[in-house]
Amino acid sequence: MKKIATLIIAIICATAVMAQEVENSPMKRHEITGGIGLLSHTQIVTFLVDMVGTIVTGGLLMQMDSYNVLTPNLSYRYWFTDRYALGVGFAFDANSVRVRRQGETAENMTRYRRNFYTFALENTFSYTRSSNFQLYGQLGLGATFISIPGNDYGIGRVPLFNMQITPLGMRIGRDYAGFMEFGYGYKGFINAGFSARF
């Protein structure tokens, strides 16, 4: 009986100490993530628009050139509670198209590289969270700016609306962790990378 009482007292003391440690350890509210997304909304839309342009002109005025399937992205978020964070995100895409200008033959069409810079406000909602694992969703709303070096068409001066809907994200690890997200938008269908909290 004394052994059981001693064991119960030891468990209660250990639980109290652990609870005190959790209480005293401040929540790490800042988070930085870096990831690579697969098939972003930006790449899909420009590919489809370029395909239509090439078909309509019969490839005489425009030809499709190169497209990327990967989109590097960075985010910063601030956790107001253990369930909600607000932050900012950045994603970069690039592709190119060939355009036939006046006096050019089909063989020497001008190649234009297009850079897409997306800036967004991101809301993150945590479904569940433990010390080593987190399930969450995210909604990002922002704008994409297009830069086409050497173009004289004025393209890119007006920002285009862009968004990211991520119903499911997983983060595994404590202060330094890996993550994987599934959704659609400027970060792609699948976005995976590393996260740091401080």
pLDDT digits (tens, 9 = 90+) for 81-134: 999 999 999 999 999 988 887 777 777 788 889 999 999 999 999 998 788 999
For residue 2, being part of any structural domain is answered with: no
**Which of 78-88 are b and which e, b meaning 16 or more Cβ less than 10 Å from the residue's Cβ?**
ebeeeeebebe
CA dist., res. 111 & res. 100, Å (int): 9
For residue 178, being part of any structural domain is answered with: yes
What is residue 129's predicted lDDT score, i.e. its pLDDT? 77
> Quick one: CA torsion of 98, 160, 190, 83, rounded to 10 degrees?
170
Using the structure block, give the residue that is written with the tokens 């005293």: 24
Shortest CA distance to 195 belongs to which of 111, 138, 148, 119? 138
Shortest CA distance to 156 belongs to which of 169, 167, 143? 143
CA dist., res. 153 & res. 87, Å (int): 34
pLDDT, tens only, 186-195: 999 999 999 9
Tally the domains of the chain. Answer: 1
CA dist., res. 74 & res. 3, Å (int): 55
pLDDT at 9 over 90: no
Question: Which CATH number belongs to the domain containing residue 181 in this structure?
Answer: 2.40.160.20
pTM of the model: 0.80
For residue 74, being part of any structural domain is answered with: yes
pLDDT at 77 over 80: yes
- Structural domain including 38 reads 28-197
Query: What is the phi/psi pair of residue 152, to 5°?
Result: -125, 30
For residue 152, being part of any structural domain is answered with: yes
For residue 143, being part of any structural domain is answered with: yes
